Amino acid sequence: MKWRRFNGQRIEQTLTEAVEETLKREQAAGYKLKVCIGTDSQVRGKQVEFATVVVFLREKRGGFMFISNYHTQREMTLRERMITEVAHSIEVAYALCDLLDAYDVALEVHADINTDPQFQSNQALKEAMGYILSMGFIFKAKPDAFASSSCADKVI
């Protein structure tokens, strides 16, 4: 996966190296951080476009994010797309969890799935929640899943 900053600047290092450098810099500046990871997708014709974000929240001081965009030509049901979003987020969270633990940074995985049964995305809620929780991560769904439903949604 290729990563960039919100301003479009490409991140040339591996994600792990970039995150570690960021954690060192932010903690040296005195910030207490929390990291939220989320993925969103949109169907455009026969293509599904995904955006995964790693959001760094500075306690009471705003935040910033790293972004990765990618797409697939494969057709997917809504449920399959929701679980694929969660799988992308978990893949990134798993790659970063040991590093975040070493720097004592809290981690949440956000799913762009509605908790209201009236919405179609709700059909994947139990699976997504089970998947995320079984991996040992903190799970957030809409309306609390801003990393996926707001941040990733804006950069697809």
Q: Along the 156 residues of the chain, how does pLDDT read in single tens digits? A: 899 999 999 999 999 999 999 999 999 999 999 999 999 999 999 899 999 999 999 999 999 999 999 999 988 998 899 999 999 999 999 999 999 999 999 999 999 998 888 888 788 888 899 989 999 999 999 999 999 999 999 999
Calpha distance 19→57 (Å, rounded): 13
Collapse the DSSP code of 20 into the 3-class scheme (helix H, G, I; strand E, B; otherwise coil) and give the result.
helix
Are residues 23 and 130 in contact, defined by beta-carbon separation less than 8 angstroms?
no
CA dist., res. 156 & res. 152, Å (int): 6
Domain coordinates in residue numbering, the chain: 3-154
Q: How far apart are CA 151 and CA 55, in angstroms?
A: 8
What is the model's pLDDT at position 20? 98
Contact yes or no for 51/68 (Cβ under 8 A):
yes
Residue showing tokens 């991560």: 137
Contact 55, 152 (CB under 8 A): no
For residue 50, how far is the Cα from the chain centroid?
11
Based on the number of CB atoms within 10 Å of its own CB, is 36 exposed (0-12), middle (13-18) or buried (19 or more)?
A: buried
Percent helix, strand and coil across the chain, each to the nearest 5: 40, 35, 25
Structure confidence at residue 33 (pLDDT): 97
pLDDT at site 75: 87
Contacts of 127 (CB under 8 A, 6+ apart): 79, 83
CATH of domain 3-154: 3.30.420
Rounded to whole angstroms, the Cα distance separating 73 from 55 reads 27
